């Protein structure tokens, strides 16, 4: 059912005691036949509309419930493997919560810009059936043979006729508070959630529609159909993925403390996202709700509804520190004079590049105050005064701001209990869906054949949700792996445009505010239309959205376009989407050209809008001249070797191999050590539990030994890798023996290690000074002497100038080990020195709170610039001195054990593997994924994937989800069986070639050879990778790199020199 009417919800909250309210059942609105006839209406609402039609049955392979970013990723991964997906979402559009966000940390990528291509891809995938405005009502059967019952509500609009013109909303007299806009705006009773909604079909909100018929009268294509029926659909599938996401805590019961719902200028962070969003209610301008004025000061209060046993939830909500930092930094960048303050408890900047992002926000002038404000009150001018104690100065003071943003927690969907009942699975004590085991099987639910992904079992940020979506797509294969794959449909026949004069269409993108705020798109459009061969131009809010894809196809028909140019972001990220659109309209995709007016223009010249506008015109002109010279190209297909190489036999490498084996795919694991297990084999136990690492790792090793699909090479060195996706060859040295392995895809799972502390903190000068890894080994071997006074120092060698990043796992490990030491000696005095306690995952905060409460571990906060000092005297006594940042005392602690939580870095062989596989690494020697948010497991190079701590240190649950995700990604080319080669390859013009052989020498792939009879060079197209080295070397101009021919590049060059306006 759709969300309840919004003025009902608050009242409903107010009277319910907090501990229960999120599990209370929202009464389902049942459509009764008699309700329809009672409506006073002149239009043709008839009683039949309430009667459900005969059951429809859809045959599929995997049912996915929830089409947010995680569900969409899972759907694409399953569908790309050649299996049929039925994707259900209760909302009228797909996209989930992510599309509501303005930008995403830590790259500040525009959220809709990264989601929209995935939404479009989902909606046009031939193997995906989309059921929006639908809900799961039942699930019978068992893994491999489920029958799901889905209730699809009528939208009362015919999706095939609706053009998305918006005429209907103009005339609709009913205004409803918009849940999508977080109650900051109203929508009509006939609506789309947002302009880029997929599918782009309007929906009549039955609960609020009065049946006046105004919309029907203005609808030109006659798309409104009050006769359209809701229906019960039976879906036959083999497995089910549940990706139903989360809700955001609404802090109404905190109105005494924080004034939400009482003072207009207290809003939630999600509401602030809508204010920042270019398609939000204020078109991206932060305004005070009370008067619409620009706030001169804004404050954020963290942990609203999280890390609290009294109000809200005990867990850490994992993303709030970073989203608040992002919101503050973005606003500060746009309005440098605005005063920004964030009130926090621990700043949990734990992920890849998060700490650097946080440091940057501080540099921009965002002020961070450590303290949890006790209360706020409103002043006469509607400003808000916050009372707080700064824990560093111990002073209770007040701060007054124009706008207060509450960083509210991610909480379980209120529907989880009902959904769990329907699915026959369990919920945990917080109301999240329960994993079979957080430590060994986070994706598996408590029912066989039903898998979990995304935030429905705990808060996660976007890449972790995406990885888990892919992981679920791997697991969901198990019950269906022996089914037949779908035979792909014949592609749209290609139009022959050879010999036609160029007819170029130019689509210019606003990218919300990202381009349009800095580039005058209207003038650029007016300019583009004057360029030669351009017959059509337009500018659009988001060129990548579904409706614009439709428009591109329409314009290809209407205007007879035979070349398309999109001036928007980067061809590296969005090119394929537009190329697919062209292919669907029967145009060869190599007739596409992109002008990068965002990443390489508006974003980098935002202080010089006039120059950015001029540069945009130049870039478009250069694209136009090249476009006119483009030719259709052919792609060759080649077979994929159905095997995967996994580099690294630690936890994530093993889990990836097992996930592949479960899909009947053969893998090789190569491991440099004698045994499998990686870091895990040296660990004693695993945070946030006391489960011994061996209990997790030994069964995996056993399983792998006995799995016929997995071949393990230990004590093995990788000597070299050749080839491309589908056809790789690796040279390895296993023991003394050298051999070659052939495979289609590769997963890098080379893990992480502690850095060499190199004498810092006295490491190496005394046996009493050890790292956490040393301690784990000692505890595992039972060689740890009884200790009384222990000092642990977190962030040793971390978050400094040399290594500015956070290690992500150290805090948890330290807390777990403190607890274990206390268990070994209850009289032990344990002091943990920390900078921020970053325990963010499921059950982590709870574990930490328990250790502090029950074990009496003393925690002392120190500041970056006041590093603890460790000294060893002549008698071998170890002393740690530190300044307590909270109480200001200088502490001198004698210790019979000092444990350093050392910074981490990428595995030993990172540099070598990086070069062999041509993939990048970033800070700390961790591999850099293709996209920080939406492609966390891929690289820019096809066929190579990353998993586990090789990407960044991770806890067990995240590593496993990622490993299974990487297995899913790596299996796609294998299950597809063929890869399409590039059309961009080289051709030799036999008439011009003089047979000098220069190209033969420069070709890195041996794709060129001299034909001894003809005395000219010839190209072996299966070997050619399209680098163009031969064209660069050819003295006669006969070696032509298709798509980058001399005439095309020279035309761009000449065009760049013209000053156009």
Partner 1 sequence: MIEMDDKSDFEPKIIGFLCNWCSYAGADLAGVSRFQYPANVRVIRVMCSSRIDPQFVLKALTEGADGVLIAGCHPGDCHYIEGNYRTRRRIAALDKILEKYGLSDRVFLEWVSASEGKRFAEVVTDITNKLKELGPNPHKARWEI
CB atoms within 10 A of CB 862: 20
Q: Is 447 in the site for partner 1 (CB under 8 A)?
A: no
Residue (of 65, 3, 57) closest to 203 by Cα position: 3
- Three-state DSSP class for residue 756: coil
Q: How many residues bind partner 1 (CB under 8 A)?
A: 58
Q: Which residues of 376-410 are buried (b: 16+ CB within 10 A; e: fewer)?
A: bebeeebbbebebbebeeeeeeebebbbbbbbbbb
Residue 1046 touching partner 1 (CB under 8 A): yes
Instruction: State yes or no: residue 138 binds partner 1 (CB under 8 A).
Output: no
Of 942, 1032, 1036, 1060, which lies in the binding site for partner 1, with binding defined by CB under 8 A? 1032
Q: Does 247 bind partner 1 (CB under 8 A)?
A: no
Least separation in angstroms between residue 928's CB and partner 1 is: 5
Cβ closest to partner 1, residue 852 vs residue 1049: 1049
Termini Cα distance of the chain: 53
Query: C-beta of 544: minimal distance to partner 1 in Å?
Result: 15
1049 binds partner 1 (CB under 8 A): yes
CA 516 to chain centre: 25
* Residue among 458 and 1028 whose Cβ is closer to partner 1: 1028
Rounded to whole angstroms, the Cα distance separating 208 from 225 reads 16
Alpha carbons 952 and 944: distance in angstroms, whole number: 17
Instruction: Please state, as a whole number, how many other Cβ atoms lie within 10 Å of the Cβ of residue 25.
Output: 9
Contact between 176 and 205 (Cβ < 8 Å) = yes
Residues 885-944 that bind partner 1 (CB under 8 A): 914-915, 918, 920-922, 928, 940-941
CB of residue 1052 to partner 1, shortest distance in Å? 5
Contact residue for partner 1 among 44, 294, 611, 636 (CB under 8 A): 611
The packing angle between helices 571-584 and 546-558, to 10°, is: 50
Q: Which of residues 281-340 bind partner 1 (CB under 8 A)?
A: 333
Q: How far is the C-alpha of 904 from the C-alpha of 754, rounded, in Å?
A: 4
108 binds partner 1 (CB under 8 A): yes
Stretch that binds partner 1, among 282-290, 427-435, 447-455, 1024-1032 (CB under 8 A): 1024-1032
Q: How far is CA 973 from CA 78, 79, 573, 580, 970, in A?
A: 12, 12, 19, 18, 7
617 belongs to the binding site for partner 1 (CB under 8 A): no
572 sits near partner 1 (criterion: CB under 8 A): yes
Q: Does 600 participate in binding partner 1 (rule CB under 8 A)? A: yes
Asked if 1050 touches partner 1 (CB under 8 A), the answer is yes
983 touches partner 1 (CB under 8 A): no
Identified binder of partner 1 from the candidate list 75, 425, 622, 806, rule CB under 8 A: 622
Minimum CB separation from partner 1 for residue 569, in Å? 8
**Closest CB 448 distance from partner 1, rounded Å:** 42
Burial (0-12, 13-18, 19+ Cβ within 10 Å), 1018: middle
Q: Binding partner 1 by CB under 8 A: which of 607, 785, 826, 874? A: 607
Task: Give the shortest CB-982-to-partner 1 separation in angstroms.
Answer: 9
Contacting range for partner 1; rule: CB under 8 A; set: 219-227, 275-283, 869-877, 1041-1049: 1041-1049
What is 272-312 written as a DSSP string? HHHHHSTTSTTTT----TTT-PPPSEEEEEEEETSS-SSSS
Cβ proximity to partner 1, 123 vs 616, nearer residue: 616
Does 1002 bind partner 1 (CB under 8 A)? Our answer is yes
Q: Considering beta carbons, is residue 606 or 664 the nearer one to partner 1?
A: 606
Nearest of 899, 643, 640, 646 to residue 792 by alpha carbon? 899
CA 626/CA 874 separation, integer angstroms:
76
| Closer CB to partner 1, 245 or 1028, in the complex | 1028
By the rule CB under 8 A, 1004 interacts with partner 1? yes
Residue number, 252 or 364, with CB nearest to partner 1: 364
Sign of torsion over alpha carbons 687, 689, 690, 693: negative
Whichever of 663 and 1027 has its CB closer to partner 1, that residue is: 1027
Q: How many CA atoms lie within 13 A of 904 on its CB side?
A: 25
Distance of closest approach, residue 493 Cβ to partner 1, in angstroms? 29
Cα–Cα distance measured from residue 368 to residue 351, given in angstroms and rounded to the nearest whole number: 19
- Which regions of 305-423 does DSSP assign to beta strands (E)? 339-344, 367-370, 375-378, 384-390, 395-401, 403-408, 410-412
Alpha-carbon distance of 851 to 954, in angstroms, equals: 21
Q: Binding to partner 1 by residue 720, rule CB under 8 A?
A: no
Closest CA to 850 of 693, 688, 691: 688
C-alpha 776/C-alpha 853 separation (Å) is 23
State the minimum distance, in angstroms, from the CB of residue 811 to partner 1.
27
Q: For partner 1, which residue of 598, 681, 753, 835 counts as binding (CB under 8 A)?
A: 598
Q: How far is the CB of 1044 from partner 1 (least distance, A)?
A: 6
Between 86 and 105, how does the x/- string for binding to partner 1 read (CB under 8 A)? Answer: --------------------
The minimum distance between CB 336 and partner 1, in angstroms, equals 14
CA nearest neighbour of 97 among 600, 456, 373: 456
Q: Which of 537, 545, 614, 627 binds partner 1 (CB under 8 A)?
A: 614
- Assess 1021 for contact with partner 1 (CB under 8 A): no
Q: Rule CB under 8 A: is residue 115 a binding residue for partner 1?
A: no
Q: Is 339 exposed, middle or buried (0-12, 13-18, 19+ CB in 10 A)?
A: middle
Alpha-helical runs (H) found in 476-593: 521-528, 546-558, 571-584
Report the interface residues with partner 1, using CB under 8 A.
Answer: 107-109, 333, 570-573, 596, 598-601, 603-608, 611-612, 614-615, 618-619, 622, 914-915, 918, 920-922, 928, 940-941, 984, 1002, 1004-1005, 1025-1029, 1031-1034, 1041, 1044, 1046, 1049-1050, 1052-1054, 1056-1057
């Amino acid at each position: 059912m759709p969300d309840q009417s919004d003025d009902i919800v608050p009242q409903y909250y107010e009277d319910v005691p907090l501990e229960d309210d999120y599990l209370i059942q929202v009464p389902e609105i049942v459509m009764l036949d008699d309700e329809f006839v009672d409506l006073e209406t002149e239009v043709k609402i008839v009683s039949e509309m309430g009667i459900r039609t005969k059951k429809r049955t859809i045959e599929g392979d995997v049912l996915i419930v929830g089409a947010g970013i995680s569900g969409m990723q899972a759907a694409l991964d399953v569908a790309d493997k050649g299996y049929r997906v039925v994707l259900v979402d209760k909302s009228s559009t797909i996209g989930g919560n992510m599309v509501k966000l303005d930008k995403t940390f830590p790259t500040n990528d525009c959220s809709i810009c990264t989601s929209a291509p995935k939404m479009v891809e989902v909606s046009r995938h031939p193997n995906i059936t989309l059921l929006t405005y639908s809900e799961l009502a039942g699930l019978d059967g068992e893994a491999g043979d489920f029958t799901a019952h889905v209730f699809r509500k009528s939208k009362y609009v015919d999706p095939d006729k609706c053009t998305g013109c918006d005429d209907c909303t103009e005339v609709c007299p009913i205004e409803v508070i918009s849940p999508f806009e977080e109650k900051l705006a109203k929508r009509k009773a006939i609506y789309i959630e947002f302009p880029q909604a997929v599918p782009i079909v309007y929906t009549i909100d039955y609960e609020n529609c009065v049946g006046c018929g105004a919309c029907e009268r203005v609808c030109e294509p006659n798309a409104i159909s009050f006769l359209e029926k809701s229906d019960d659909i039976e879906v036959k599938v083999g497995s089910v993925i549940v990706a139903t996401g989360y809700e955001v805590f609404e802090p109404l019961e905190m109105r005494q403390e924080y004034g939400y719902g009482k003072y207009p200028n207290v809003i939630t962070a999600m509401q602030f996202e809508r204010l920042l969003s270019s398609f939000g209610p204020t078109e991206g301008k932060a305004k005070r709700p009370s008067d619409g004025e620009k706030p001169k000061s804004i404050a954020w209060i963290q942990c609203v509804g999280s890390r609290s046993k009294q109000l809200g939830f005990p867990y850490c909500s994992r993303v709030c520190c970073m989203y608040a930092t992002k919101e503050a930094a973005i606003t500060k960048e746009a309005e440098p004079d605005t005063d920004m303050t964030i009130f926090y408890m621990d700043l949990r900047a734990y992920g890849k590049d998060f700490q650097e992002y946080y440091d940057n926000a501080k540099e921009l002038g965002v002020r961070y105050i450590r303290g949890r404000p006790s209360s706020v009150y409103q002043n006469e001018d509607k400003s808000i005064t916050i009372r707080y104690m700064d824990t560093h100065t111990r002073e209770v003071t007040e701060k007054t701001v124009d706008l207060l943003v509450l960083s509210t927690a991610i909480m379980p969907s209120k529907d989880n209990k009902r959904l769990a009942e329907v699915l026959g699975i369990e919920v945990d004590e917080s109301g999240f869906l329960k994993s079979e085991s957080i430590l060994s099987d986070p994706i598996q639910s408590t029912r066989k054949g039903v898998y979990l992904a995304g935030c429905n079992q705990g808060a996660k940020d976007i890449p972790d949700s995406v990885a888990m979506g892919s992981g679920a797509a791997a697991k969901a294969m198990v019950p269906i792996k022996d089914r037949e794959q779908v035979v792909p449909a014949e592609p749209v026949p290609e139009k022959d445009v050879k010999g036609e004069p160029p007819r170029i269409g130019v689509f210019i993108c606003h990218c919300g505010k990202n381009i349009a705020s800095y580039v005058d798109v209207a003038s650029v459009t007016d300019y583009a239309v004057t360029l030669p061969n351009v017959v059509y131009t337009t500018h659009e809010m988001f060129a990548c959205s579904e409706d614009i894809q439709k428009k591109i196809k329409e314009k290809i028909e209407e205007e007879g376009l035979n070349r398309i140019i999109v001036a928007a972001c980067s061809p590296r990220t969005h090119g394929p989407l537009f190329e697919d659109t062209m292919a669907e309209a029967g145009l060869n995709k190599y007739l596409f050209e992109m002008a990068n007016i965002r990443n390489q223009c508006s974003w980098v010249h935002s202080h010089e809008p006039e120059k950015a506008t001029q540069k945009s015109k130049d870039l478009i002109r250069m694209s136009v001249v090249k476009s006119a010279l483009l030719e259709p190209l052919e792609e060759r297909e080649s077979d994929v070797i159905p095997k995967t190489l996994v580099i690294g036999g630690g936890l994530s490498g093993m889990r990836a191999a097992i996930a592949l084996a479960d899909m009947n795919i053969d893998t090789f694991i190569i491991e440099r050590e004698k045994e499998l297990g990686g870091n895990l084999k040296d660990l004693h136990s695993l945070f946030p539990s006391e489960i011994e690492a061996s209990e997790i790792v030994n069964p995996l090793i056993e399983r792998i030994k006995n799995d016929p699909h997995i071949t393990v090479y230990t004590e093995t060195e990788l000597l070299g890798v050749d080839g491309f996706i589908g056809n790789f060859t690796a040279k390895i040295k296993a023991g003394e023996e050298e051999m070659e392995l052939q495979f289609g895809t590769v997963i890098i799972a080379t893990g992480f290690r502690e850095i060499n502390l190199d004498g810092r903190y006295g490491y190496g000068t005394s046996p009493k000074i050890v790292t956490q890894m040393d301690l784990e080994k000692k505890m595992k071997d039972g060689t740890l002497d009884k200790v009384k006074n222990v000092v642990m120092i977190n962030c040793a060698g971390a978050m400094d100038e040399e290594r500015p990043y956070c290690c992500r796992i150290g805090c948890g490990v330290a807390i777990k080990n403190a607890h274990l030491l206390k268990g070994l000696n209850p009289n032990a005095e344990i002091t943990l020195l920390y900078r921020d306690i970053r325990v963010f995952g499921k059950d982590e905060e709870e574990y930490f709170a328990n250790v502090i409460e029950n074990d009496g571990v003393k925690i002392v906060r120190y500041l970056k610039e006041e590093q603890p000092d460790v000294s060893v005297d002549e008698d071998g006594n170890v002393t740690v001195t530190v300044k307590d940042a909270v109480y200001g005392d200088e502490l001198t602690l004698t210790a019979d054990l000092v444990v350093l939580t050392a910074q981490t870095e990428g595995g030993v062989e990172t540099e070598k593997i990086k070069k062999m596989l041509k993939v990048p690494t970033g800070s700390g020697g961790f591999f850099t994924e293709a996209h920080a948010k939406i492609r966390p497991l891929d690289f820019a190079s096809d066929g190579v994937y990353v998993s586990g701590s090789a990407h960044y240190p991770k806890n067990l649950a995240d590593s496993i989800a990622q490993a299974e995700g990487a297995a899913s990604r790596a299996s796609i080319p294998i299950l597809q069986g063929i890869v399409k080669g590039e059309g961009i390859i080289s051709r030799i013009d036999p008439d011009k070639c003089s047979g000098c052989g220069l190209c033969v020498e420069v070709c890195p792939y041996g794709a060129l050879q001299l034909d001894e009879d003809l005395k000219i060079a010839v190209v072996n197209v299966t070997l050619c990778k399209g680098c163009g080295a031969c064209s660069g070397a050819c003295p006669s101009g006969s070696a032509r790199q298709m798509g980058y021919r001399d005439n095309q590049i020279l035309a761009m060059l000449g065009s760049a020199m013209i000053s156009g306006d």
